[in-house]
Amino acid sequence: MQPRDLSAHSPYVPGRGVEEVARDLGLDPNDLIKLSSNENPHGASPDAVEAIRRHASGVHVYPKAAHTDLTARIAEKWDVDDEQVWLSPGADGSIDYLSRAMLEPEDRILVSDPGFAYYAMSARYHHGEVNTYPLTREDDFEQTAAGVLDAYDGERMVYVTSPHNPSGSVMSLAEVTTLAEAVDSGTLVVVDEAYGEFADEESAVSLLDAHDNIAVLRTFSKAYGLAGLRIGYAVVPAAWGDAYARVNTPFAASEPACRAALAALADTDHVERSVETARWAREYLAAELDAPTFESAGNFVLAAVGDAAAVAEAAQREGVIVRDCTSFGLPGCVRISTGTREETRTAVDTLNDVLATLELGAHA
């Protein structure tokens, strides 16, 4: 017995976990600074943690009211109907729901290269095919409608990641509007705003009233610090919001996840602090790292360090885990998530030492 032919499906390569790296290096996990997965260095909101505790004894029951309450709260936040909010296990889950709702076998999607791997993976699971549009280092990964439309060939879904992972660049709402108006009527433009809270740009949710071919992805994994709970959502146009009932996995979001997300939404101080730290840290990285960096609107900074694998490995030996971007097709770059002020300062000192040592070695 074998599964179906999965040779076209590349496995997702996550940033390495603290325990995993500590075990490999024989270090105490508490001595490591993990800046490889764009997580929240402040952790979750204490109110979210308390909500999980409070509702722990009820987890033998399928989630119902919590799902309804969270959907309503998010709909209120964005001033949309409840039906337009598709809760899911992380934004990744929403990518799957959109694939299920949109793709017939052999339909094509268009994604950025480099870019977030899961769009392509999800499309392939749903028997779809994947084309790419380039975002280039030479243009600082600039995102324009024209750049996407140059590659566009009637694909069923077009993904825009704003802020973009791994570069941090954004597509302005004016450009998203141009794109949505230029594509065929049967093409959905998905704007992935997993890092939206860290950016200055207004959310593309504001475009949904006037455009029925735009969907927006959001997550609680980043600014809200709930990555381990797997909770995110899509906001879709009212015209086809009811498709959720036909495509979602039953009980798509767990009771603790919904309760924690409700508490996290109410804890505005925690989100503001998280965003403020990320903004400070990305400025600090840009100013203090001895390598060129790209302007970022996210909670991470892409740096051109030369040999990314060597730099990431050497930094890891010194206790700082950053993301080698070779798997994104950028073997010259590492992506550094923004840490607390202390973590970020230590990471910059460590990386600068590593860069200097590798530089010396190269000239020896």
Ligand X SMILES: Cc1ncc(COP(=O)(O)O)c(C=O)c1O
Local structure of 207: helix, strand or coil:
helix
Q: Does residue 197 belong to the site contacting ligand X (CB under 6 A)?
A: no
Q: Does 337 bind ligand X (CB under 6 A)?
A: no
> Which residue, 46 or 228, is less far from ligand X as judged by CB?
228
According to the binding rule CB under 6 A, does residue 91 interact with ligand X?
A: yes
Residues 336 and 347: beta-carbon distance below 8 Å: yes
Strand pairing report for 320-324 and 188-192: unpaired
Closest approach, Cβ 218 to ligand X, in A, equals 8
Which CB atom, from 126 or from 354, has the smaller least distance to ligand X?
126
Q: Which of 194, 252, 314, 321 binds ligand X (CB under 6 A)?
A: 194
User: Interacting stretch for ligand X, rule CB under 6 A, among 63-71, 89-97, 268-276, 283-291?
Assistant: 89-97
**Which residues neighbour 139 within 8 Å (Cβ) at sequence distance 6 or greater?**
none
Binding test (CB under 6 A) with ligand X, winner from 86, 116, 133, 152: 116
Pairing mode, strands 129-134 and 108-113: parallel
- Residue among 36, 161, 203, 316 that touches ligand X (CB under 6 A): 161
φ, ψ for residue 11, nearest 5 deg: -65, 150
Burial 222-248 (b: 16+ CB within 10 A, else e): bbbbbbebbbbbbbbbeebbebbeeeb
CB of 202 to ligand X, least distance (A): 18
- Smaller CB separation from ligand X, 14 or 154: 14
Q: Is 221 an interacting residue with respect to ligand X (CB under 6 A)?
A: yes
Report the C-alpha gap between 35 and 347 in whole angstroms: 8
Residue 112 is a binding residue for ligand X (CB under 6 A):
no
Residues that contact ligand X, how many (by CB under 6 A): 13
